[in-house]
Chain A
Amino acid sequence: MNLSLALMLQLTILLPLLATFAIAVTGQKPNLREAVTISTSLAVLYCVVNLYQALNAGASISVSWWALMPGLEISFVVEPLGMLFALIASFLWLITTIYAIGYMRGHGEENQTRFYICFALAISAVMGLAFSANLFTLFIFYEVITLSTYPLVTHAGTEKAKQGGRVYLGILLSTSIAFFLLAIILTWFVSGSLEFKAGGVFDDNVNTTVAGAILVLFVFGIGKAAIMPFHRWLPAAMVAPTPVSALLHAVAVVKAGVFTVLKVCIFIFGLDLLPKLPTTEFLLYLAAISVLLASIVAMRQDNLKARLAYSTVSQLGYITIGALLATSSGVIGSSMHIASHAFGKITLFFCAGAILVASHKSKISEMRGLGFAMPITMAAFFIASLSIIGVPPAGGTWSKWFLLMGTVETGYWFIMITLMLSSLLNIAYLLPIPYHAFFPGKDHPAASSGGIKEAPLPSLIALTITTLGCLTMFIYPQPFYELAKAILTVSGVSHGQ
């Protein structure tokens, strides 16, 4: 391949951006339009994979665009954590596009061109965020993601969509402006740098009270990480069409949040400084409470997408905890959980969407006996649930293992118990769904499929691929583990793994 790596890095951001124009132009011809989306996502995936191989080969790739303001450059760099996120996002974008074709057409959605345009724009911003070389660049793309996904959330254009969109934008934009931006400015003022640096930007004799306050601002300001009490936007966003919920609110947007938290913890504060801050412990407990409460709330939801949304809030808490633990197993666990939760949750959302398209059911109580009509979907649901719970033979096992190790190493017993308890709750709110689907019980006629068939083929293909992904990540977690370990090497931490 002749393309230089720096060019490829830029293409991952620019290609989806350019695709928005192509999609707009081809809007009248749905097949051509979808071809544009798919070929773009293939091209982006190709670039990301190439970058991945180059990174593994030890290349250092960075690009600097221009200085927005003196001293504040928009620049990108390829490092393992960003690579991990970019790999997942670009791969799942391709899969989601395939899924979306089936879903959007099967569901007869309007304004599909606008949908694909905003989608591509959001992905472009996600790529930019993943490869950001400094906090300033990251913040810009963070805001672009919020704004470009707003039309997707409110896609239906109804009163309910408007309300959902209001909460979505209100929380994400407010927290990012009031806390995140403030935290960035304070960081710049205190340390004089926003560069993501190994070991953090603060020097050793920084005032820990100030740094601790900044950390709180960061964790609250990164609303996309959905730490309670700023989690309400995520359930609100469930008014969106299911492919949006699947890719954006299980993968791209929420993972952008926890990714940012990880980035900030590792490369702004540094793993050495983090445990010394007076607020870290408070935030850890807050995240633990968020994990537990969200799981409990999830149990009480009858709407499938709402249940999945609260489950996501809970799982995001795991990742934040791993980042705040600031040990090597915590970081490894968090990074791998980004991957395993992404695959697991997107599968669950795909299933929810497939059920909606095929049977027009969104309430869990109505899904009894659905397993006979939609065996593939429900089997996929079962496997993905296992991954979220964190038991073999699914990928979630490894990440939860490392996270638990992290809590044990640091001696946070309360948090360890919380995590275990939450896993039990996961079982309680996820597994009954496939169970009742296949074993509806005696008083429920098993053959009440009423002409319900499996979802459209593209959707089915997509959810099969992601399910296989969940399984593969159990048997062969090496690529993600290697990347996660490389993060530690990059961040200059010696690790015992």
Chain B
Amino acid sequence: MLAHLPILQVVLPLMAAPLCWFLNRSKLVWMFALLVCAATSVNSILLLIEVMKSGPIIYELGGWEAPWGIEYRIDQLNAFLLLIISTIGTVVLFAAQTSIQKELDEDRHTLFYSLYLLSLTGMFGIVATGDAFNVFVFLEISSLSAYALIALGRDRRALWAAYQYLIMGTIGATFILIGIGMLYQMTGTLNMSDLATRLVDVGHTRTVFAAFAFLIVGICLKLALFPLHLWLPNAYAYAPSIVTAFLAATATKVAVYLLIRFTFTVFGISFSFTTLPLQSILMVLGLMGVFAASITAIYQQNVKHILAYSSIAQVGYMIIGYSINTSTGVMASLLHLFNHALMKGALFLALGAVMYRIGSVQLSQFQGLGRQMPLTMSAIVIGGLSLIGVPLTVGFVSKWYLLIASVEAGMWPVAVLILLGSLLTIVYIWRIVETAYFKPPLPGREAVKEAPWSFLGPIWLLVIANIYFGIDTRLSVQVAQAASQSLFGINP
């Protein structure tokens, strides 16, 4: 059983997705999906423990040996990602039943859960697999189900947003496929570690350069790096609340993982950063992303839009950490991956709770909610503080390491810009706080009640995690450190 953990992670939700249709009763399906998600979380925890203890696990699918068969390869990096995705996926799902009752028609519930599980399968697959083509397959699974999930939104604009995402996402996926195809053409293999050894000989050819470019652009589209982020704000804003919370906390993280995996493991650091000027390109784009997205966030009227643009800015931070190209930088990036999932999970879920009670997340509708929904709003405040990076929250931890990394690498201006970026965060977070706490309730609206516990439970679980992992950083820092050190080939 223990030996099959890597494949179970992917197969469990994949098998469970069609099974949902047999149950076909909203509540039952929910409980089933929840059970499956919880099982994958346990699975990912076991995997992480195993990997931290005894190094990477290699699993050969169907017993076929590596270059011929598909191999799953779990090291610290993917185990960490699997843990993030599965736990956030589970926590978010807790609130799903309450939320979709308001936001989706009854006959769509089963569809919702099975798509949710499929999307999860795709993400697990991307992260777990050690085969480049397999990445593409799972990418399509997760993306297609994500498009459908977004299109479920009741707002008619959700269709347009999903369509936009579909077009952009498909372009991204196609680019990735072209890149992989070219690599296959040059090396004759699709296995990542095999690719890595064979690429050394052909690394100077123009085909490999082109493959690299296609892959990077495709992945950056998926991770919504500025200026390839245009699909994200509407997709997040008009999707059902649960979908937003789920995707915001997981989808872009998977793309960041792909970027790291391809540049570090497949192409190698020297190729990506020395032969090609990836560092300066991504550093500039990351910084521009932080500022452009944060400034745009300040002017939004829809709170989901505010946080969506904030997500783009946070992706910018991850990319900055990544492009510093030191062990500490990548570690900061990975930490932020984890921490950002906690923050955005909490914040978007809280927005879901607001949506549930008042049916809108326009900023103007937030008036007076500070008094009427005190627990939800204080969750937003704490999540917001974490986003700003106030000490004793997770946001501070990742910002600290990001700053240390940039100063260590001698990039003082970057450190200054990172700090200035967080000042912009204060502005857009405080717009929400001031509206909720200092404006009187909207006239003519019935008194709003606090969100139900099925919402508050998961929201506050994430909020407490935001504080807990901001105080006790052992788990996140250790794992992130181990993962980034193994990428750089440093043995702790």
Contact = CB atoms under 8 A, between A and B. Distances in A.
Q: Is this pair of chains taken from one and the same complex?
A: yes
Interface of A: 66, 68-70, 139-140, 143-144, 147, 154, 157-159, 161-162, 166, 169-170, 173-174, 177-178, 181-182, 185-186, 188-189
Contact of A144 (B392, B403, B434, B437): B392
B423 to A, nearest CB: 5
Given A66-B472, A161-B438, A169-B430, A185 B392 contact: no
A140 B391 contact: yes
B397 A69 contact: yes
Interface of B: 385, 388-392, 397, 400-401, 403-404, 407-408, 415-416, 419-420, 422-423, 426, 430, 434, 437-438, 471-473, 477
A178 B403 contact: no
A154 B430 contact: no
B75 to A, nearest CB: 22
Contacts of A178: 416, 419-420, 423
SS class, residues of chain B in contact with chain A: helix
Contacts of B397: 68-69
Contacts of B438: 154, 157-159, 161-162
B473 A68 contact: yes
B390 A143 contact: yes
Contacts of B437: 154, 157
Given A143-B391, A147-B390, A161-B438, A69 B477 contact: yes
A306 to B, nearest CB: 22
Given A69-B477, A182-B416, A185-B404, A174 B423 contact: yes
Contacts of A69: 397, 400-401, 473, 477
B390 to A, nearest CB: 6
A139 B477 contact: no
Given A144-B392, A161-B438, A185 B415 contact: yes
A139 B391 contact: yes
Contacts of B422: 177
A178 B473 CA distance: 23
B470 to A, nearest CB: 8
Contacts of A170: 426
30 contacts: A66-B472, A69-B473, A140-B392, A143-B392, A144-B392, A154-B438, A159-B438, A162-B438, A166-B434, A169-B426, A170-B426, A173-B426, A174-B426, A177-B389, A177-B419, A177-B422, A177-B423, A177-B426, A178-B419, A178-B420, A178-B423, A181-B419, A182-B403, A182-B416, A182-B419, A185-B404, A185-B415, A188-B404, A189-B404, A189-B408
Contacts of A188: 404
Given A181-B419, A189-B408, A166 B430 contact: yes
Nearest to B397: A69
Contacts of A174: 423, 426
Contact of A185 (B389, B390, B403, B473): B403
A157 B433 CA distance: 12
A278 B390 CA distance: 32
Main secondary structure of the interface of A (DSSP, over half): helix
Contact of B391 (A144, A161, A169, A186): A144
Contacts of B477: 69-70
Nearest to B392: A140
A246 to B, nearest CB: 24
Nearest to B418: A182
Nearest to B427: A170
Contacts of B388: 173, 177
Nearest to A174: B423
Contacts of B407: 185-186, 189
Contacts of A162: 434, 438
B97 to A, nearest CB: 32
A182 B414 CA distance: 11
B478 to A, nearest CB: 9
A174 B390 CA distance: 11
A139 B416 CA distance: 18
Contacts of A166: 430, 434
Contacts of B391: 139-140, 143-144
Nearest to A178: B419
A66 B472 CA distance: 8
Interface centre among B391, B397, B430, B472 (most CB of A within 10 A): B391
A173 B427 CA distance: 11
B223 to A, nearest CB: 26
Given A173-B426, A177-B419, 16 more contacts: A140-B391, A147-B385, A162-B434, A162-B438, A166-B430, A173-B388, A177-B389, A177-B422, A177-B423, A177-B426, A178-B419, A178-B420, A181-B403, A182-B415, A182-B416, A185-B404
A285 B47 CA distance: 61
B393 to A, nearest CB: 10
Contacts of B426: 169-170, 173-174, 177
Nearest to A180: B419
A150 B21 CA distance: 52
B468 to A, nearest CB: 12
A182 B422 CA distance: 12
Of A69, A162, A177, A189, most B-chain CB atoms within 10 Å: A177
Contacts of A177: 388-389, 419, 422-423, 426
A170 B422 CA distance: 12
A233 to B, nearest CB: 14
Contacts of A186: 407
B428 to A, nearest CB: 13
Contacts of A154: 437-438
User: B400, B401, B404, B471: which has the most chain A beta carbons within 10 Å?
Assistant: B400
Contacts of B389: 177
In the complex, the 3 A-B pairs of residues with the closest C-beta atoms, listed nearest first: A140-B391, A162-B438, A189-B407
A420 B119 CA distance: 73
Contacts of A181: 403, 419
B300 to A, nearest CB: 19
Nearest to A190: B407
A68 B390 contact: no
A421 to B, nearest CB: 36
A11 B354 CA distance: 39
Contacts of A189: 404, 407-408
Contacts of B403: 181-182, 185
Nearest to B393: A143
B490 to A, nearest CB: 15
A76 to B, nearest CB: 16
A188 B328 CA distance: 15
A170 B431 CA distance: 12
A182 B430 CA distance: 23
